[in-house]
Chains A and B, each alone.
Chain A
C-alpha cells in the first residue's frame, strides 16, 4: 500500500517517476509508511464505466427554432389554402378522398397526420423510396426518376445513375457484396437447397442449416442457446407477447423502435415509458412499480421487464448498459436488449454493446439482434439461457406460424459470422471491425470540426446530422444526389417535428477517399445551406493536426 514503486494499473515506470516527482515537488512526506496526497490512478475503482462515455446532444441557437416554426407556419397556411382549393374544386384532386355517399359520415382524412402527408410530405416526396438497381455496397446504382406534377406521380427516364456513394444503407461491416469468392459457400448452398422452405419451424421447416446457425450464434455471443427467425421486425413483435402478458410491467425507453412498441402493445402488459437513456427516470419507475404494485389490486407485478436498444438508430446514442444492469439486479427486473444496430458494429471484436462495456452476456436476460444490418442478410435472433430459448421454440408466434429463414441467407450469415470470429482462417473479420471503428471516429471528428450539430455517442456508426428546417430537408437531399451521394433524410413522424435530420451510416467498406468526398461535399453544402450551427466546433484548421493527436474534451 505504501510502496510507491508498486505496479499501479500496469503503468510501472511512468507512475513511479510521476509519484516521486509529486512527492518531492509538493513536499508531501511519508507518515507512518502511508503516503498522503494525490494518488494517480488511470480510472478510479468506483465507476461502472471502464472507458469514457461521451455523448453529444447539443441544442441549436434559439433563432433556429424560431425559423423552423416560421417555416412550418408558412407551410401550414399554404396547406390550408390548397385544401380549400381542392374542396371547392378550383384544383384537381390527386389525394385520397371519401366518396360522395360518405360525405356525411365521420371524416377519414381530417387529422393532422393526413394534412401533413398531403401538404408537406408530398412536396419533398422524391427524396424517399428511391429505387436502386445494384447491391447496396459502399456505392450503388440509382434509377433516375422525374416528376411532371410536383411529386404526385413519378416516371422513370430509363437512365441509371452509376456509382452513387452510399451513406444510407445499414451496411456496417461491408458484407453486402457480390464478390464471387466471398459468396462461394452461399452459391453451393443455393444449389443444394434451393430458395424456398415452404413450411414453418415447427412443421417441416427446421433444416440442419438452422441448427448450425443457432449453435454458431450462441458461440459468437457467449450464451447457452439461440433461436433464429426469418424477419427482424417479426422477431421483436412476435416474441415479446410470448415472454410477457397481462399482469406484467414493461418499462420501455422513450425512443424505442416500432417493432418493440408493437410487441409490447400486443402482449397486453402494462407499459410505462422512461426518458431516453435517463437512469434516474428508470429508477423512479422501478421504485414506484415495486412500492405500489399493480394499479387497482396493489398486488406485486408478475414480471418487470426493461426494453432497451443497443444503439438507437435515430439518435446514434448507445444505451447505458452498466447502469441498467446494476439497476435490474437491485430491483430484480429482467432486461431485453435489442442489438439490431449494435451487433457487429461496436465492441472490440464486433460482439455488440455487451462487449463494448466489458460486461458478461449472463447479465442480460434476453439478447435480441438482427442479421439485416451488419451481416448483409435478413432475419433476427433471440439468445440467452437454454430454458428461455426452449420456451420460445414452443410458445413464440413466429416459431409456430412464420416461415423459417431460407438456406442461402442462413449460409450468408454463417459465413459472415465465421469471418468475424476468425474461423475461416483469415483476420478479415477483425480488420472489418477495426476499419469501421476508424471510419466512424474519423467521420465524426471531421463533422464536429466543421461545425455541424451531430447527435450521439462518439463510437456509434450511426451519425445523425441536424437540419431542423423543413425547407432544408428537401434541398439537402436533392443537392447531395446531384453530387452523386445518396443520403437518408428523416422528418416529422420519425423524429420530433422541429428536429429533422440527415442520418449517415458509416460502413467498413467505405474507403478514406469516399469519406473525404462526402465530407468535402458536406462542407460545401453546409456553407451554402447554412447548416453549421454548432457553437463548440473544435478547430478551424483540422489539416494541421494528424490522426494521432490527443483530443481534449469540451
Chain B
C-alpha cells in the first residue's frame, strides 16, 4: 500500500515535470533527445560535486580555522 502510493506520487511528479517543461507535447525522438541531454547534465553536475565539493569544503574549513585560530591567539595576548 505504501509502495503503491509512493509509486503514484512519483508518477505524478513525473507528469508535472513533463507538463512544465513541455515534454508532454514533444514527439518521441524529441523526448529522447531532451531527456538524454538533461540526464547527462545532471550526471555531470553530480559527478563534479562528488569530486570537488569535499576538497573545497575542507579547504574552506581550514581557511576559517586558520583565521579564527590567529585571532584567538592575538586576543589572548592582548588580555594578558
Contacts and interface: CB of A to CB of B under 8 A. Distances in A.
B30 A71 contact: no
Contacts of B20: 67, 70-71, 469, 471
A469 B22 CA distance: 8
B59 to A, nearest CB: 33
A197 interface: no
Interface in A462-521: 469-472, 474-475
B27 interface: yes
Nearest to B21: A74
Contact of A471 (B19, B27, B30, B34): B19
Contacts of B30: 78, 81
A75 interface: yes
Contacts of B16: 530
Given A74-B34, A78-B30, A469-B19, A475 B24 contact: yes
A528 interface: yes
A472 B19 contact: yes
Interface string A67-96: 100111011001001000000000000000
Nearest to A471: B19
Counting chain A CB atoms within 10 Å of each CB, the highest count among B20, B26, B27 belongs to B20
Interface residues of A, number: 20
Contact of A75 (B15, B18, B19, B25): B25
B63 interface: no
A74 B19 contact: no
Interface in B10-60: 12, 15-16, 18-27, 30, 34
Counting chain A CB atoms within 10 Å of each CB, the highest count among B15, B18, B24, B25 belongs to B25
A407 B51 CA distance: 82
B51 to A, nearest CB: 28
Given A74-B34, A78-B30, A471 B25 contact: yes
Interface in A53-78: 67, 70-72, 74-75, 78
A150 B27 contact: yes
B21 A70 contact: yes
A123 B25 contact: yes
A78 B26 contact: yes
Contacts of A123: 25-26
A285 interface: no
Tell me the dominant secondary structure on chain A's binding face. Answer: helix
Counting chain A CB atoms within 10 Å of each CB, the highest count among B15, B16, B22, B30 belongs to B22
A474 B12 contact: no
A529 interface: yes
Contacts of A74: 21-23, 34
Contacts of A474: 24-25
A275 B24 CA distance: 36
Contacts of A529: 15, 19
A348 interface: no
A72 B22 CA distance: 8
Given A78-B26, A78-B30, A528 B21 contact: no
B21 A471 contact: yes
Contacts of B24: 471, 474-475
A273 interface: no
A124 interface: yes
B22 A471 contact: yes
B3 to A, nearest CB: 20
B23 to A, nearest CB: 7
A124 B25 CA distance: 7
A449 B15 CA distance: 25
A475 B23 CA distance: 11
Nearest to A66: B20
Nearest to A119: B25
Contacts of B23: 74, 471
B8 to A, nearest CB: 11
A528 B12 CA distance: 7
Nearest to B19: A471
A74 B31 CA distance: 11
A451 B74 CA distance: 61
Contacts of B15: 528-529
A71 B27 contact: no
B80 to A, nearest CB: 55
Counting chain B CB atoms within 10 Å of each CB, the highest count among A469, A471, A472, A474 belongs to A471
Given A528-B12, A528-B15, A75 B27 contact: no
Given A74-B34, A150-B27, A470 B12 contact: no
Contacts of A124: 25
Interface in A330-377: none
Contacts of B19: 71, 469, 471-472, 475, 529
Interface in A276-312: none
Interface in A107-143: 123-124
A470 B22 contact: yes
Nearest to B12: A528
Contacts of B34: 74, 78
A252 B22 CA distance: 36
25 contacts: A70-B21, A71-B21, A71-B22, A74-B21, A74-B22, A74-B23, A74-B34, A75-B25, A78-B26, A78-B30, A81-B30, A123-B25, A123-B26, A124-B25, A150-B27, A469-B19, A469-B20, A471-B22, A471-B24, A471-B25, A472-B19, A474-B24, A475-B19, A475-B24, A529-B19
7 tightest CB-CB pairs across the interface, nearest first?
Answer: A471-B19, A123-B25, A471-B22, A71-B22, A67-B20, A471-B24, A75-B22
Interface of A: 67, 70-72, 74-75, 78, 81, 123-124, 150, 469-472, 474-475, 528-530
Given A70-B21, A74-B22, A470-B22, 4 more contacts: A74-B21, A74-B23, A81-B30, A471-B21
